[in-house]
Amino acid sequence: MIQLQQQTVGRSFSFEGKGLHTGKVSKITINPAPVGHGIRFRRTDIGENAIIEALADNVSGTARSTTITSGEISVITIEHLMSALTGMGIDNALIDIDNVEVPILDGSAKPYVDAIWKDGIVEQDSPRKYIELPEPVEVRDERTGAYVRIEPSDEPSYDIQIDFNSKVLGVQTAHWDPSVIYAEEIGVCRTFVFFHEIEALFKNNLIKGGDVDNAVVIVENPVSQEQLEHISELFNVPVLERRADGYLNNLTLRFPNECARHKLLDLMGDLRLTGGFLKARVTAMKSGHSINIKAACAVRDLLRSIR
C-alpha cells in the first residue's frame, strides 16, 4: 500500500440547514486544520473554546444517529459529515457549528463531497498515521445477529450486508475499497426510513427536520389513501403515492442498493471515530450506529492496551 500524506481541505466550506432529529437550523463550516489535528467540532454558539474531538470515547448517543458530548458541548448526527471527510481523505479539519445538530441537507454526504471535490484538497507535510491493529476485533449482538469485524489488512476495505426482513429491500450488500470512487458510489447515497416508522418517530420527537427530499421511504405493505394523506400532511407536501416497487414516490433511487450503500456510508463515518483511517478489512452484518460505535470503542481499547 502506498504511504499517503496527511490532508486537509483547500479552504473553508459552509452549509446551512435543518437537523434531521431536532429540526433546528444550524450553520456549519469545515475549516482547514494543521497536521495532527484530526477532526474536531467547535460549538461557536457556546464559545471559542467549546471544542470536542470526534472520537468514540466522546459518543453519548446512538439512537438513529451518532452524538458526541463533552461536558455541556454536544453535537448530534455527525456520521454523514465524518463519512464524507473519511471518503475524501481528509485527515485534519475543524468544524464550526452554531447549534446542536449537523444539518441533514439531502440525507447523504453529497453536498460535502461536491464542495470538497470542487475546490481541492491540500496535501500536508507529514505522513498519514494509519490505525493498524495487532489482531482482529469483532463485536456481535447475539439477539439481532448483527456484527462488525475489523481485521488487519494492507489495504483498507469495507463490506456490509443489510437485512431488515423486508420484501421491498431484500438482502442488500455494498463494498468500498480504494478502487471505488467514494464521491460517486457511496457519498451520494441517502438515508432511508420505513413508512410505518415515520409516525412513531414524530411522536418520539425525532425526525423533526425530516422531509421528502432527504430520505428514501420504504412502504413495506400496501397503505390506505388516508395514511398517505396523513404522512403528506406531516411533511407538508402534496399527497404521495406508493410505487409498484414498494418505495414512496418522493425520490428516485440513485442505485438499486442505495440503502445498503448508505449503511456503508454510516459505517465509514462511525468507524472514523477510532481516531483516524483504519488500515483494516471491515466486514459488517446488519450494522447500525450502536454496534458501529461499540466496534470503534473496542479498537481504541485494544490500542490503549498495547501501548
DSSP3 helix / strand / coil % (the chain, rounded to 5): 25, 30, 45
Indicate which residue of 21, 80, 262, 289 is catalytic: 289
249 vs 240: CA distance, rounded Å: 6
- Per-residue exposure over 133-158, b if at least 16 CB sit within 10 Å of its own CB, e if not: beeebebebeeeebbbbbeebeebbb
C-alpha cell at 211: 422531509
Distance spanning both ends of the chain, measured CA to CA: 24
Q: Is 289 an annotated catalytic residue?
A: yes
**How many angstroms separate the most distant Cα atoms in the chain?**
61
Measured in whole angstroms, the distance separating CA 34 from the mean position of its chain's CA atoms is 24
| Cβ neighbours for 132, distance < 8 A, ≥ 6 positions apart | 152, 279, 280
Measured CA to CA, the distance from residue 56 to residue 273 in angstroms comes to: 5
Give the alpha-carbon dihedral of 176, 148, 187, 212, to 10 degrees: 140
Instruction: Note whether 154 and 279 are within 8 A (CB).
Output: yes
Which residue numbers are catalytic? 289
